[in-house]
Amino acid sequence: MTTTFRDRVRAGELLVGTFVKTPSPHVVEILGHAGLDFAVIDQEHAPIELGQMDMLSLAGRAVGLPLLSRRWGKGTDWIAPLLDLGLTGVMVPHVLDAEGAEAVCDSVRFARNKRGLSPSPRAGNYGGMGIPAYREASDRTSVTMVQIEDESALEHLDAIAAIDDVDLLFVGPADLSQSMGVAFPSPELDAAIDRVVAACRKAGRAAGLFVGDPAQIPAWHAKGVTVFVCGSDQALLRKSAAALMASRNA
């Protein structure tokens, strides 16, 4: 059986991706050709609608780039439509406790008997897959990432990490530092991230982290983080353009 992105996450491979804030299929296609392990469409902090997600998913699947999405809101009703479009998974912001993580998993896994079921969308090969095969394939491959971004969530790490349907605990360091009332970066924030990594290690769960600079990856990987979202498509473009102009003026 082909190794899936979820298999790689659960195996603890070093995986590097970026946020996509531009609703252009071409951006997704380029990132796929560049060899990224995955990308996260940032519906939380960029104006990207469901129809645009449809085209981004199409591009991701065409180029073999696993795509996840994160978006705003405390509900989970946005999750299933994106998985129906063929996204590989979701990254859910501000998960505070095990109850919140369970609600996310309910919206991802058919085996929990709460997600609406139809093999008619892209993910079910437009009806080409039978219901049993579709349920099995979706549950086997869909990735569930829950974000730890609140100080209160630090008291529930073991309970969250113990949920088998959760694939990864992902630290949002900017929001977490804001919630804790500490600087970003700071020793206090690093200690909180260490707590998340320790809980993940204890439960056999993967740990993820946002970094703004790829130079930060080796040190955090040595501490046990295996999944990194580094910057965004817009940041990559801006830095490259700024470097171009700096070279002209050198």
DSSP string over 12-55: T--EEEEEE-S--HHHHHHHHHTT-SEEEEESSSS---HHHHHH
In this structure, are residues 94 and 149 in contact, taking their beta carbons and an 8 Å threshold? yes
The 10s digit of each residue's pLDDT in 135-186 is: 999 999 999 999 999 999 999 999 999 999 999 999 999 999 999 999 999 9
Confidence (pTM): 0.97
Q: What is the CATH number of the domain that holds 52?
A: 3.20.20.60
**Average of pLDDT values for 15-33?**
98
In this structure, are residues 38 and 8 in contact, taking their beta carbons and an 8 Å threshold? no
What pLDDT is attached to residue 121? 98
Q: Which residues, in sequence order, are bridge partners of residue 39? A: 18, 67
The 10s digit of each residue's pLDDT in 99-122 is: 999 999 999 999 999 999 999 999
- Structural domain span for residue 91: 5-249
Mean pLDDT of the chain: 97
Kindly report the CA angle at 48 between 67 and 84, in degrees rounded to 5?
45
pLDDT at 1 over 80: no
User: Residue 32 and residue 65: Cα distance in Å, rounded?
Assistant: 5
**Cα distances (angstroms) measured from residue 136 to each of 1, 140, 143:** 13, 6, 14
What pLDDT is attached to residue 235? 98
The 10s digit of each residue's pLDDT in 184-221 is: 999 999 999 999 999 999 999 999 999 999 999 999 99
pLDDT at 86 over 80: yes
Structural domains in the chain (count): 1
